[in-house]
Structure 1
Amino acid sequence: MRSDNVKQGPERCPNRSLFYALGFTDEELERPLVGVVSAFSEIVPGHAHLDKIAQAVKDGVRMAGGTPVMVPAIGVCDGIAMGHEGMKYSLPSRELICDSIETMATAHQFDALVLVPNCDKIVPGMLMAAARLNLPAVVASGGPMLAGKQGERRVSLSQMFEAVGSYKGGLIDAATLDDYTKNTCPGCGSCAGMYTANSMNCLAEAIGMALPGNGTIPAVYSARVQLAKHAGMQVMKLLEKGLRPRDILTPEAFENALATDMALGCSTNSVLHLLA
């Protein structure tokens, strides 16, 4: 195991002593170390529930005989960063995410990775890291937000943008705009609509790096937690078989992703990320 570099032999007693300081047992250190990279935070609606998704992934890894180790990743909410200088930090954050995962996985010699993203630059940043590291890896995203409701109308963030224009054009009043504002986004998940986040979560599935349902099961459904558990179990199968991202990310896989992109009408940003 790659992780033996930090946990086996007398020369690694100092390393092991630090694992014991974390509460690890001998039994856990005899198993593969699986990095569970979670983008959980309290500032991104698509990430607000990723602590639960990451825990489900860890459960799956343990059920399949691995030792999960949760490590963090940053994430920018493009919606909150929109319209001010913060937007300049969004795309560069993709490279920071990729670099930080490489740093954590290499410094601690993880045997495999389960990547837990959900939003725009986080999904491609994690996929880039998977390809760069070429360790057995599975993406387990957080899932899309449910549609909101304005009166009897089902709405998403697209209608929220339109409502601003309607208000400025005198087509709706302030009370209606406030109704849109408070009810368009009903809870956690990547913004409802085929924006970059949902596009990349679907393409992660189409390209072979995520399990079926990764792009479409809503964030709040129990099936999303079940999928995360299966992702944790699946990465152990990949590790056993020695199947790595570069075995999966073939030219044919990219062609399949591009075909899916066209069929779904994905965000044009998906081209930017697939090239990266």
Structure 2
Amino acid sequence: AGGTPMEVNTIAISDGVTMGTEGMKASLVSREVIADSIELVARGHMFDAIVILAACDKTLPASAMALIRLDIPGFVLYGGSIYPGRFHNRDVTIVDVFEGVGANSAGRMTDEDLSILEHAACPGSGACGGQFTANTMAGALETLGLSPVGMASVPQDDPRKEKIGFRAGEVIMDQLRQGLLPSQILTRPAFENMIASACATGGSTNIVLHSLAMAREAGIDLTIDDFNAISERTPVIADLMPGGQYTAVDVYNAGGIELITKRLIEGGVVDGSQLTPTGQTLTEATAHAEPTEGQKVVYTVEAPLKPTGGLVILKGNLAPEG
């Protein structure tokens, strides 16, 4: 595509490994270390542009935070979701294993079944398959404008992933030639789009702490009190695990994250005039999205799965500030 690439690495903490252990105390701290390390190398080597490949847990928000600080042409490229496993004729993810451990402890699942489930739940590479932190953030970053539309939905082991990587190289060089910077993309409406994406998919509550951190880096006035208002006007239009039936791979097969975004734009929930890394608006970038015939994963704003979003900020004597 005309550029001279330089590959660098950073660290990562896997919540899937540290879950339920002292190691989880390192998880959120790692977000700051990852962001700092990306920023440090990019500044030190004076990169003209950057593509940040990220996947699980804190790597996605950390990548976005680093990109915002650097304010050079660039975007976050999601590694992609894992395919679901199969257990007793149904799709399962890593969370089914967590629940299986509890069921086994309570005497509701045999040791043999738990072992079969553990061996089946993660059949390949990729981020956890439900609408957990990774897939929530990946979709939200597309809607925010820090990831190219149509790339995040493709599973990690999908044959099309190689083409996505090649296309990413073309996009970053085009973005560099345009001189399009994150600071030109990141507006208050763009952050509202990001939150709406998470609300509409029943996404991870981690979107709250990550979007607040990203907004702070971008100098955007966003507070925890904004989430209830956005969630209240955003219906749930995707039936996704852990609260629903389907996985991220099912979203891809149904029409992709871009289909969800397009329907949110059509329903007046998302501002389609906001920019994406290609220079197109969200409306332009999602215009091609069409539902796969017979799909049951993505609903419409007019006939949603639930009338209001999946996020509610609670306040009380235990958490007076929410």
Check whether TM > 0.5.
Answer: yes
Helix, strand or coil: the match of 1:271? helix
> Match for residue 184 of structure 1?
121
- Larger helix proportion of the pair: 1
Tell me which protein shows more strand as a share of its residues: 1
Residue 122 of structure 2: SS of its match in structure 1? coil
Contact 2:77-2:152 at 8 Å conserved across structures:
no
- Aligned-residue Cα RMSD (Å) equals 1.0
Question: Deviation of residue 255 (structure 1)?
Answer: 1.1
SS of residue paired to 1:140: strand
Name the counterpart of 1:165.
102
CA distance in 2, matches of 1:177, 1:241: 53
Match of 1:193 among 130, 147, 169: 130
Matched, 1:210 2:147: yes
Q: For the residues of structure 2 that align with 1:201 and 1:211, how far apart are their CA atoms?
A: 10
Matched residue type, 2:39: E
Question: In structure 2, what residue type is equivalent to 1:214?
Answer: M
The aligned residue for residue 129 of structure 1 is 66
* 1:273 aligned onto 2:226: no
Q: Report deviation, 1:249.
A: 1.2
Indicate the SS of the match to 2:160.
helix
C-alpha distance after superposition, 1:88-126 (max 9, x if no partner): 111011100111111101111110000000011000001
Matched residue, 1:237: 174
1:97 to 34, 56, 59: 34
Q: Which has the higher contact order (CA 8 A, sep 6+)?
A: 1
User: What secondary structure does 2:8 align onto?
Assistant: strand
Paired letter, 1:181: E
List gaps (5 residues or longer) in structure 2: 214-322
Determine the C-alpha separation between the residues in 2 that align with 1:108 and 1:158: 40
Deviations, residues 142-178 of structure 1 (Å, cap 9, x unaligned): 1001000113222112221221121112112100010
Give the match's secondary structure for 1:120. Answer: coil
Q: Residue 7 of structure 2: SS of its match in structure 1? A: strand
- Residue type of the partner of 1:240? R
Cα distance, 1:213 vs structure 2: 2.6
1:222 to 159, 176, 186: 159
Structure 1 runs not aligned, ≥5 long: 1-63
Counterpart position of 1:249: 186
Deviations 1:56-82 (A, max 9, x none): xxxxxxxx2110000001111101011
- The one-letter code of the counterpart of 1:243 is L
Q: Give the TM-score taking structure 2 as reference length.
A: 0.65
What is the match of residue 119 of structure 1? 56
Measured in 1, the distance between the counterparts of 2:116 and 2:102 equals 15
In the alignment, the residues of structure 2 paired with residue 258 and residue 154 of structure 1 have an alpha-carbon distance, to the nearest angstrom, of 27
The residue type paired with residue 192 of structure 2 is E
TM-score (norm 1): 0.75
1:47 maps to what in 2?
none
Contact 1:194 1:266 in 2 (8 A): yes
Runs (4 or more) in structure 1 with deviation over 3 Å come to none
1:138-149 → structure 2 map (5 Å cutoff) = 138-149=75-86
CA distance in 2, matches of 1:222, 1:229: 13
Q: CA deviation at 1:261?
A: 1.2
